[in-house]
Structure 1
Amino acid sequence: MQTISRYASRLWSGNLAKGLRPGAIAISGTLMLGFAGTIRSRYTSTASCEETKEKFKQSSPKESTIESWLSFDSVKSQFNALSARLTQISSELSGDPNSLFQQIVEESVTDDQVNPELRWKASVRLGTDVGFCEKAYLRERKHFMKRAFASLMGVDESIVDERDIPIVGVAASGGGYRAMVSTTGCLLGARQSGILDVVSYIAGISGSCWALGGWYSIADGDLDQFQTHIKSRITTPFLDLANFQLFTDHPTNKYLLSGAVAKLASKGGTTSLVDVYGTLVSSRLFVPDDLSRLDPRHLKLSNQRHLLDGSLPLPIYCAIYHQVPDEMSNYSNTNEDPSSAGKVARDQTFISPSYHWYEMTPYEVGSEDVGAFIPTWSLGRAFENGHDIEPRPEISLSILSGIFASAFTATLAHYYQEVKPGLMVLPFFKMFDAYVSTFESDLSTLHPFPPAELPNFLRGLQGQLKPGLSVAVTECETLGLMDAGAELNIPYVPLYRRNCDVIISLDASADSQDVWFSKAQTYAHRCGLDTWPVVKYPGPSESSPSTEHADHDAEIPLNEGEIQVKKSREQAFKQLGGENGKPLDGNEANPFPADTRGVAHCSKPEPPLGRCNIWVGDSTNKELSARMDEPDEDLIQARDGPALIYIPLAPGNGLEDPAAVWSTWRFDYKEEETEQLLKLSELNFRTGEEQMKKVLRAIWKRKRNQRLKKEEP
């Protein structure tokens, strides 16, 4: 390994660093470290190789074959190829007059054919309501849905009033390629069932954002084309040397590197590991096999507006901003006396880290938590006092793709929660956990890898945003955005503010379900959604007796922050897999006992999760269970809350543990593996098809009856 390290060091100092401006060094240097890391993991040191050769010589007569296999010729060949590629890319990023770097920089401020937004001025829209463009889209979407909804309900179109059609939102979880493929499979199932045609919004986190980004860009809104695309493209990992060629050869080098270079040139923050990660992922997800179809508009989120004629749901991409306690010591409400009781009360309220949810649609980027939005095409330029300073290209989808899935930028507290379940079986765990807990406030503010930076469009808006925000939010030049899955891995939050009547949750998380149910309830309360259904999902301490470590685990108090992720996941798969933990073949609609009439007392534990789980909220009678897996139209009409339809990634179709095969951090899959997960996810969705139709019918009737009652003289 020392030999490899010395070689990489000479390669960098001798060939890459010469003549590079700091930004170019940041880009190419990080690329080199990423690819060198891949090779480093594949090959052992000289000493270990010699030992292995001796062992093979003693045990195998095929010395010539083994000698060839164990020689460093292949290693040298790989390094030579890597050296050539990195030398080439360092030359292109050098900033010389004829370099690719300089070409991208010049075009980013002059080429208004590729970047038409250079001709437009932008300003910040203050408020928390959705924008005018989205309202206009929703009207068009309802026009389109009228016929589709009538067909789905089996009624004549003439009796369907657009005002009564339920507003349906899909919340798709994070989880890397697993979530991307699973979400795509569920959407295929939704299309086959006709339900996709009555969905207004699809919100995504992390890997589901990749699914939405590819579907609405490279596939031009064609799901069949997108599933074919991903099956082909994810067979090769983005750190493979063969993939590295895309960064050195025309036209893909300019296409992929433009995002990072333009961001650097626009002073939109330094080039970070997140940006490089997003660029690498984009080389697989946003590059077509047929390079004649390469189009720079595919990397513009705002370009997806051309698909929003009402025939497709509105995509919502989610990220979060972490406001830490140090930033929260001062507040932006300049009209308030610092010594007032209100100020003191807020000081007591905002004493822990908080997260602001940012949403990105083809129309706008912004946050209800701060009360400000800008046109999506203006994301990437600097703002001051609510107006842009100079026109710059829209931030590339290659950069945003890194932000959407940058789970590694979470705080140390999140890292600890991830490893905590595995530590619970250790002796003295409670003592260790208590010790770590004393540093919780510090761990909750430290990011081992900083979030990606984007220009801060809130700069200079002191006193004009929502109360309770730190002054730093309006003073910093950049905003650090990160993967929203670090806070809540299912994007309910942007759907709450859009008054959805039905939310279909597609959960491909590897974590325990009760974490997301609990946090969803918390956010619903913060949003003032009192009718949100209470989910009484039995956690691991209630529903699964411990085996090997029963006595020890019984001593561990379980709460939201102490979820035994591994045990809960095993339990969930057993529940979802039927009797004796054997995966179902998908022929049973819902094989588990359900609270079919929704009349059980809230304190009664709910039945285990099935493939399709339904809750309907009510503000008037909290004593009734919200669970209603077998929907009753009369009972739903008697309630006034939204319906939550939860569809987890259940095992089946030969996949006994999808999360184990489809690890969040694995980035290469055979086509047959992708096809298997697509089919399983499609099956999972279609299993609850009839139940979902009953819910839609009941809420449609409820809205119609409420409207007619109001219209009575």
Structure 2
Amino acid sequence: MSASKLQESGEVRIAHSLHTNEEEFVARRRETVFQSLQKLKIHCSKSEVPNIALLGSGGGQRAMVGLLGSLVQLDKAGLLDCILYLSGVSGSTWCMASLYQEPNWSTKLETVKDQIIKRLTGPKVSWGDAFAKLKKYYYEKEIFSLTDVWAVMAVTEYVKEIDKFTLTDQWNQLSKDPFPIYTAIDKHCKEEKEKGGDPWFEISPHEAGYSLTGAFVGTSSFGSQFHNGSKKKPQPETDMLYLQALCGSALADRDEIFKFLWEKIKGEAAFEDSVLPRVDNPKAPPAYKCYQVLTDLVDVNLAVLNGKDYFALEQSIRKTLKELSGSKSHLIFQAGKTNLATKFDVKKFTEGVCKDLSQPLCICISDLVLSICICMAQWIWGRHYNFLHKMTDETVPSTLLKSEKRDYEDAGLLLNSPYFSVLREERDIDLIISLDFSGGDPFKTVKETHKLCEELNIPFPEVNVPSEKAKKPKDFYVFKGKNAPTVIHIPLFNVVNCGDNIEAWRSNYGTFQGSYSAEMITDLMDVAGKNISNNREKLLEQIQAVTEQKRQLMTI
């Protein structure tokens, strides 16, 4: 059965090949690249056209704005139509989602750029709209996680909209732009690397799946329940707001995210109390006691996770629940009570607390808030049904076949650039242009990719950068290797566009901070754009070089 027929039938595709529709699109896009190369006086036959991928790293809104500024300058330099693939991690995917809302955005980028900036500097999404969206996620999705909360409470603060469209919606109007690839990672594979598996997960307009394993499902079916490769129970297709949260949920460390979400949840709870009718129960306990239990419950889970003392918090929860529910709480927790001879079962304890809070006397806590707090206590992000569940395919790592559900998260937690989405052999990439918007070492992504590629036997050039260059990088690096794609690496802040003020720029554009002002956006776009405009001739030189290299290989 063909790839496209498989997707239509809701079946899993196991193959090291491109989806039929991607193949067809690439053929059309290569014609655009060919015409662009002719205009740039880079002459070649159509078969010699190089496959060029542009990568945007993570970095929150810094990456979002930085990628936009870079693309604008690529367009002005006449180089945008040379790009075959556009792939992003985290904040770069926010930029991509905004761009691909507009059909054929690359043909009118200046106008699209102005629209995006106007939105980013405009009013925030209202609490009413945000809360309505959160409830929609909660009641319509079979699996609810902190990614849903992050989408509504965090991502909307930066992108200033609730994007209800889907990737397949976007594909229906896509014809003249680079092929988009959004990237995430499989959390379980990341944490159990020694057991095998493939953490690199990509989501394109046609299919979602494991880049290196070659296991995919139609994008509209990602999240549906599967058994032995066939769809068992459909779920709604992921919308673009959620997709941006799935790809961009690593803006800070766990403690910072927890603080951020908890403040938002308390605000949401207050909002809910003010707009929704409540059950009139004179015996209902004070709401703040219920919320204190939930706060302590999350802290207990964090303490257990970090190996810290949780005993005082546990006892405080037991005491408060007895005050709220009387003997019912005592009976619920008697079996789980800790002593020196038994190991504390934090999962059972968490479930028990939540069960107790759902009792009639504790109706001051809504099901939605309770569910959020359970997710926070157990730190559940990006949970979906596993479309590979119970398959019997020897080419797929066994670790991907066993579990009914999988958790997906920001790829920046493993590698802050989407190299492995374009290093698939079947995509046959000749040149990678890496735009690095990372907040730390500007060479970490390319160095780690080289190391991982060595371990996985994937062709990748040697990367030799003196450690002292990390603090004062230049604006343009080229890495080449035998039988490997050429890699151009461009750090956002460097000695060329920032002079001696690199650290000041990094400080002013932190990854986890409030939304940027109009002036900050303009300045950042200008800095990012200079990395392209200052190096136009070098970019042309490398495009010419890979074109000539491809010509030579084809004559052998």
Q: TM-score, normalised by structure 2?
A: 0.70
* Deviation of the 1:385 alpha carbon: 1.2
* Deviation of the 1:486 alpha carbon: 0.8
2:93 pairs with 1:216:
no
Flag the 1:316–1:295 CA change in 2: closer, same or farther, 3 A.
closer
SS of the aligned residue for 2:10 comes to coil
Contact 1:514–1:539 (8 Å) recurs in 2: no
2:481 pairs with 1:617:
yes
Aligned residue number for residue 318 of structure 1: 183
Contact 1:356–1:370 (8 Å) recurs in 2: no
Flag the 1:314–1:281 CA change in 2: closer, same or farther, 3 A.
farther
2:463 pairs with 1:535:
yes
SS of the aligned residue for 2:390 comes to coil
Name the larger-Rg structure.
1
SS of the aligned residue for 1:681 comes to helix
SS of the aligned residue for 1:645 comes to strand
1:455-487: CA deviation from partner (whole Å, max 9, x where unpaired): 2111121344424x32xx323332100000111
Aligned residue number for residue 536 of structure 2: 689
Please give the alpha-carbon distance, in whole angstroms, between the structure 2 residues aligned to 1:325 and 1:688: 36
Flag the 1:677–1:259 CA change in 2: closer, same or farther, 3 A.
farther
Amino acid at match of 1:537: V
| CA RMSD of superposed structures (Å) | 3.2
Contact 2:480–2:486 (8 Å) recurs in 1: yes
Amino acid at match of 1:207: G
| Counterpart among 187, 205, 211 of residue 89 in structure 2 | 205
* Deviation of the 1:642 alpha carbon: 2.0
Flag the 1:283–1:229 CA change in 2: closer, same or farther, 3 A.
farther
Aligned residue number for residue 134 of structure 1: 22
SS of the aligned residue for 1:513 comes to coil
| Counterpart among 167, 171, 192 of residue 51 in structure 2 | 167
1:579-610: CA deviation from partner (whole Å, max 9, x where unpaired): xxxxxxxxxxxxxxxxxxxxxxxxxxxxxx41
Give 1:654-693 correspondences, 5 Å limit.
656=502, 657-693=504-540
Amino acid at match of 1:679: D
Contact 1:237–1:668 (8 Å) recurs in 2: no
Please give the alpha-carbon distance, in whole angstroms, between the structure 2 residues aligned to 1:192 and 1:258: 43
2:148 pairs with 1:260:
no
Please give the alpha-carbon distance, in whole angstroms, between the structure 1 residues aligned to 2:395 and 2:137: 30
Q: Give unpaired runs (5+ residues) of structure 1.
A: 1-118, 289-293, 329-349, 416-435, 437-445, 544-567, 576-608, 619-639
1:549-606: CA deviation from partner (whole Å, max 9, x where unpaired): xxxxxxxxxxxxxxxxxxx5xx2xxx2xxxxxxxxxxxxxxxxxxxxxxxxxxxxxxx
Aligned residue number for residue 452 of structure 1: 382
Please give the alpha-carbon distance, in whole angstroms, between the structure 2 residues aligned to 1:325 and 1:233: 35
* Deviation of the 1:167 alpha carbon: 0.6
Please give the alpha-carbon distance, in whole angstroms, between the structure 1 residues aligned to 2:485 and 2:8: 40
Contact 1:126–1:373 (8 Å) recurs in 2: yes
Aligned residue number for residue 235 of structure 1: 121
SS of the aligned residue for 2:408 comes to strand
2:96 pairs with 1:178:
no
* Deviation of the 1:236 alpha carbon: 6.1
Q: Report % sequence identity.
A: 25
Contact 1:176–1:665 (8 Å) recurs in 2: yes
Please give the alpha-carbon distance, in whole angstroms, between the structure 2 residues aligned to 1:535 and 1:370: 25
Please give the alpha-carbon distance, in whole angstroms, between the structure 1 residues aligned to 2:529 and 2:190: 44
Please give the alpha-carbon distance, in whole angstroms, between the structure 2 residues aligned to 1:210 and 1:229: 14
Please give the alpha-carbon distance, in whole angstroms, between the structure 1 residues aligned to 2:136 and 2:409: 17
Aligned residue number for residue 273 of structure 1: 146
Flag the 1:259–1:410 CA change in 2: closer, same or farther, 3 A.
farther
Aligned residue number for residue 420 of structure 1: none
Flag the 1:120–1:392 CA change in 2: closer, same or farther, 3 A.
farther
| Counterpart among 27, 32, 51 of residue 144 in structure 1 | 32
Aligned residue number for residue 516 of structure 1: 445
* Deviation of the 1:499 alpha carbon: 2.1
Amino acid at match of 1:244: W
Amino acid at match of 1:227: K
Flag the 1:511–1:259 CA change in 2: closer, same or farther, 3 A.
farther
Flag the 1:524–1:325 CA change in 2: closer, same or farther, 3 A.
closer
Amino acid at match of 2:526: K
Amino acid at match of 1:280: M
Please give the alpha-carbon distance, in whole angstroms, between the structure 1 residues aligned to 2:158 and 2:114: 12
Give 1:693-708 correspondences, 5 Å limit.
693-707=540-554
2:436 pairs with 1:507:
yes
Q: TM-score, normalised by structure 1?
A: 0.55
Contact 1:409–1:482 (8 Å) recurs in 2: no
Q: Give unpaired runs (5+ residues) of structure 2.
A: 1-6, 259-305, 307-375
* Deviation of the 1:380 alpha carbon: 2.9
Give 1:399-418 correspondences, 5 Å limit.
399-407=242-250
SS of the aligned residue for 1:358 comes to strand
Aligned residue number for residue 354 of structure 2: none
Aligned residue number for residue 232 of structure 2: 389
Amino acid at match of 2:137: A
Flag the 1:367–1:409 CA change in 2: closer, same or farther, 3 A.
farther
* Deviation of the 1:218 alpha carbon: 5.4
| Counterpart among 191, 205, 217 of residue 75 in structure 2 | 191
Contact 1:410–1:449 (8 Å) recurs in 2: no
Contact 1:282–1:401 (8 Å) recurs in 2: yes
Alignment length (residue pairs): 426
Give 1:330-369 correspondences, 5 Å limit.
351=194, 356-369=199-212
* Deviation of the 1:526 alpha carbon: 4.1
* Deviation of the 1:126 alpha carbon: 0.9
1:508-529: CA deviation from partner (whole Å, max 9, x where unpaired): 1011134223211123224433
Please give the alpha-carbon distance, in whole angstroms, between the structure 2 residues aligned to 1:218 and 1:147: 23
Contact 2:158–2:515 (8 Å) recurs in 1: no
Please give the alpha-carbon distance, in whole angstroms, between the structure 1 residues aligned to 2:431 and 2:388: 33
Please give the alpha-carbon distance, in whole angstroms, between the structure 2 residues aligned to 1:409 and 1:465: 36
Flag the 1:669–1:514 CA change in 2: closer, same or farther, 3 A.
closer
Flag the 1:237–1:493 CA change in 2: closer, same or farther, 3 A.
farther
* Deviation of the 1:695 alpha carbon: 1.1
Flag the 1:175–1:466 CA change in 2: closer, same or farther, 3 A.
same
SS of the aligned residue for 2:412 comes to helix
SS of the aligned residue for 1:189 comes to helix
Please give the alpha-carbon distance, in whole angstroms, between the structure 2 residues aligned to 1:136 and 1:648: 33
Please give the alpha-carbon distance, in whole angstroms, between the structure 2 residues aligned to 1:458 and 1:373: 9
Flag the 1:410–1:500 CA change in 2: closer, same or farther, 3 A.
farther
* Deviation of the 1:698 alpha carbon: 1.7
Name which structure has the greater RCO, CA cutoff 8 Å, separation 6+.
2
SS of the aligned residue for 1:153 comes to coil
Flag the 1:462–1:120 CA change in 2: closer, same or farther, 3 A.
closer
* Deviation of the 1:648 alpha carbon: 0.8
Contact 1:172–1:491 (8 Å) recurs in 2: yes
Amino acid at match of 1:136: E
Aligned residue number for residue 492 of structure 1: 419
SS of the aligned residue for 2:87 comes to strand
Flag the 1:460–1:138 CA change in 2: closer, same or farther, 3 A.
same
Flag the 1:123–1:702 CA change in 2: closer, same or farther, 3 A.
same
Contact 1:302–1:376 (8 Å) recurs in 2: yes
Aligned residue number for residue 303 of structure 1: 169
